[in-house]
Chains A and B, each alone.
Chain A
Amino acid sequence: MNKGLQRIYMLPYALWIVLFVVAPIALVLYYSFFDITGHFTLSNYKSFFSSTYLTLTISSFWYALLITFFALLVSYPTAYLLTKTKHKQLWLLLIIIPSWINLLLKTYAFIGLMGLYGPLNAFLEAIGIGKQQILFTDFSFVFVSVYIFIPFMILPIFNALDKLNPALIDSSRDLGASSWTTFRRVIWPLTLNGVKSGVQVVFIPALSLFMITRLIAGNKVITLGTAIEQQFLVTQNWGMGSTIAVFLILFMFIVMVITGGSDKGASVNEKNK
């Protein structure tokens, strides 16, 4: 359409891009070169590559991987079965509703559920295992995180499975493929994009969780997110915090490239429909 009109539209949105997308990233990068006293330095980067931060990064990745893996393990069958139910949109809505309840409340619920006198321990005692310290362990951290992320993982996978042409599955079966082969060679490749976007919406936030680590893991687990929060709000060392943030942004881009790089597959899917 005409250009004059376009310019007026552009203004607030362009301003937003400059102020809240470009400037914050630039500022984080800028701050990462300053130490706590405000002197220009590369020491933040040096200390990031020290053993403390490297272990932290690796353990953070490990937890994020675990969380993503278990979320996928639970979500894929759930999404698959959901597409087979009668009122699938209604069931999907019921899956989504818990994700609309404030995150903090759900986390808080687990403090009670997993507490020493909570129902989970009462159950363990009843079946003869006896009371266990569940809260403030890595198990509780992974469990609660998986719980939080399941709906976000189910949604893209459900959409991918829902778009899948059932005739493809029928023809695969007619041609003599077993259910496992059908799944491995037909269903899984065609829904891989849904899985990828699910992994993307789980893995990146899982790297940067800090509220759940504080409330559920009791500082036993430290993620990149916890470290950033610590540096910014507790020790007030914005330079170090920014350095960790720079690396987190870097990891984010890498994950995005890995999980987002196959738009071709998606367009093939569209054509198949």
Chain B
Amino acid sequence: MKRINNLQKLYLIAVFIILYAPIFYLIFYSFNSGGGMSHFESFTWEHYAAVFEDKRLIIIVLNTVIIALLSALLSTAIGVLGAMAIHFMRNKGMRNAVLSLNTILIVSPDVIIGASFLILFTMIGVKLGFASVLISHIAFSIPIVVIMVLPKLQEMSSSLIDAALDLGASRRDVVTRVILPFIQPGIFAGFFLALTYSLDDFAVTFFVTGNGFSTLSVEIYSMARAGITLTINALSGLIFVITVILVLGYYAISNRTKMPLTGVKK
């Protein structure tokens, strides 16, 4: 294959610089002792200290993390069941219909999801706050888990299940000892994606969160609307570090689970 020339290299480098510049710009000024993002006065940790001293902000961070973990766990559980249901569906038309219903929430704009969930919650009387945000996050994460798990199920040869049944495994055994171990990489991938979708969501949460409850995205939005505060910069520095660690962790896991793909573990 042809190697890329210098001009093309320059283009790629330019794209990378543009992609990363805003992030590093934010982090750079998080160490600024001056007030804004234009003059770098001197180095300071004070904005980071401010993040950890702000009790309200810490509660919001905790809320965000709890919502993300809980919604990822629950949506993974429901999504895996859903993927199995779709996979073992005999009726092809029905299967395609369910698959299209599944993709609706993935392609729907966040504004639509947020607005329609807001109507739904007020209709059935769910109080806006922790519960409504958690339920929405579970709801929009489920289809992603299904999409991640389904290809793994299709990879699995059905003779594995037949063999297990012939050897006297109960149906529960088939699920817990054959199917679940096989699709484990898909489950992990779905879980991580659900986690990041939840952490990253702004629009849906913005619609269904009441007055008392807030997640990080919503909080940053209201802070940013008020103007520049370097506390946000410090926060973004922390988030960047955590994100990179998460990404590396995800790749470590997905690389490790790639290896035993050929057989059933244990």
Contacts and interface: CB of A to CB of B under 8 A. Distances in A.
Contacts of A122: 38
A112 B101 contact: no
Q: What is the predominant secondary structure among interface residues of chain B facing chain A?
A: helix
Interface string B231-250: 01001100110011011000
Interface string A153-166: 00000000000001
Nearest to A206: B109
A117 B38 contact: yes
Interface in B175-232: 175, 196, 199-200, 202-203, 206-207, 216-217, 220-221, 224-225, 228, 232
Contact of B117 (A24, A151, A214, A249): A24
Contacts, number: 230
Given A84-B1, A105-B232, A245-B112, A20 B220 contact: no
Contacts of B120: 19-20, 23-24, 27
A136 to B, nearest CB: 13
A220 B162 CA distance: 62
Report whether over half of chain A's contact residues are helix, strand or loop; otherwise say mixed: helix
Interface residues of B, number: 81
B18 to A, nearest CB: 7
B115 A100 contact: no
A248 interface: yes
A77 interface: yes
Interface in A81-120: 81-82, 84-85, 91, 93-98, 100-113, 115, 117-119
Interface of B: 1-4, 8, 11-12, 15-16, 18-23, 25-26, 29, 36-39, 77-79, 81-82, 84-85, 88-89, 98, 101-102, 104-105, 107-113, 115-120, 123, 139-140, 142, 146, 161, 171, 175, 196, 199-200, 202-203, 206-207, 216-217, 220-221, 224-225, 228, 232, 235-236, 239-240, 243-244, 246-247, 251
Interface of A: 1-2, 4-6, 9-10, 12-14, 16-17, 19-25, 27-28, 31, 74, 77-78, 81-82, 84-85, 91, 93-98, 100-113, 115, 117-119, 122, 147, 150-151, 166, 200-201, 204-205, 207-208, 210-211, 214-215, 224-225, 228-229, 232-233, 238, 241-242, 245, 248-249, 252, 256
